[in-house]
Amino acid sequence: MSEAVTRPDRAAEKPPSVFNVGASLRQYGIFLALVLIIVLFQFLTDGRLLQPNNVTSLVQQNAYVLILAVGMLLCTLTGNVDLSVGSVVCFIGALCGVMMVDLQWNPYVAMLVALAVGALIGMWQGFWIAFVNVPPFIATLAGMLVFRGLGQVIMKGQTKAPFPREFQVIASGYIPDPLGGAVIGATKVHLFTLLIGFLIVLLIIFGEIKKRNKQKHYGFDVLPTGVWLAKVIFIAAALVAFTVVFSVYRGFPNILVLMGIFVVGYQFVASKTIQGRHIYALGGNRKAAELSGVKVKWVMFWIYTNMAVLAAVAAMVFTARLNSATPKAGQGFEMDAIAACYVGGSAVSGGVGTVIGAVVGGLFIGVLNNGMSIIGISTDWQQAIKGFVLLAAVAFDLYSKSRSSKVA
DSSP string, 360-393: HHHHHHHHHHHHHHHTT--HHHHHHHHHHHHHHH
φ, ψ of residue 192 to 5 degrees: the values are -65, -35
Q: What is the pLDDT along the chain (408 residues), one digit of tens a residue?
A: 444 444 444 433 343 344 444 455 556 677 888 888 899 999 988 888 889 899 999 899 899 999 999 999 999 999 999 999 999 999 999 999 999 999 999 999 999 999 999 999 999 999 999 999 999 999 999 999 999 999 999 998 889 999 999 999 999 899 999 998 888 888 889 999 999 999 999 999 999 999 899 988 888 888 888 888 988 998 899 899 999 999 999 899 999 999 999 999 999 999 899 999 999 999 889 899 999 999 999 999 999 999 999 999 999 999 999 999 999 999 989 999 999 999 888 888 888 889 999 999 999 988 988 889 888 888 888 888 888 887 887 777 667 666 655 655
pLDDT at 278: 94
pLDDT at 4: 45
What distance in Å separates the CA atoms of residue 305 and residue 71, rounded to the nearest whole number?
Answer: 10
Element (H, E) at 188: strand 187-189
Q: Which fold has domain 26-173+253-403?
A: ABC transporter involved in vitamin B12 uptake, BtuC (1.10.3470)
Q: CA Rg, the chain, in Å?
A: 23
pLDDT at 178: 93
pLDDT at 382: 85
pLDDT at 351: 87
> Helix 379-407 and helix 355-374: axis angle, to 10°?
150
What residue spans define the domains of the chain?
A: 26-173+253-403
Element (H, E) at 184: strand 182-184
Length of the chain measured in residues: 408
DSSP state, residue 182: E
- The CA–CA distances, whole Å, from 151 to 31, 72, 129, 131 equal 37, 21, 23, 27
Using CB atoms within 10 Å of the CB of residue 151, give its burial: 0 to 12 exposed, 13 to 18 middle, 19+ buried.
buried
Neighbours of 9 (CB within 10 A): 7
What distance in Å separates the CA atoms of residue 346 and residue 174, rounded to the nearest whole number?
Answer: 32
pLDDT at 96: 96
Q: Are 278 and 294 in contact (CB under 8 A)?
A: yes
Q: Are 32 and 219 in contact (CB under 8 A)?
A: no
Continuous H helices in 47-106: 52-61, 63-77, 85-96
What distance in Å separates the CA atoms of residue 310 and residue 89, rounded to the nearest whole number?
Answer: 9
Q: Smallest Cα–Cα separation from 69: which of 360, 364, 341?
A: 341
What distance in Å separates the CA atoms of residue 339 and residue 81, rounded to the nearest whole number?
Answer: 11
What distance in Å separates the CA atoms of residue 327 and residue 279, rounded to the nearest whole number?
Answer: 35
Cα 98 to its chain centre, rounded Å, is: 29
DSSP string, 211-257: HHHHHHHTT-----HHHHHHHHHHHHHHHHHHHHHHHTTT-SBHHHH
pLDDT at 17: 42
pLDDT at 1: 43
Bridge partners (DSSP) of residue 109 are none
Q: Does the reported pTM lie above 0.85?
A: yes
Bridge partners (DSSP) of residue 188 are 183
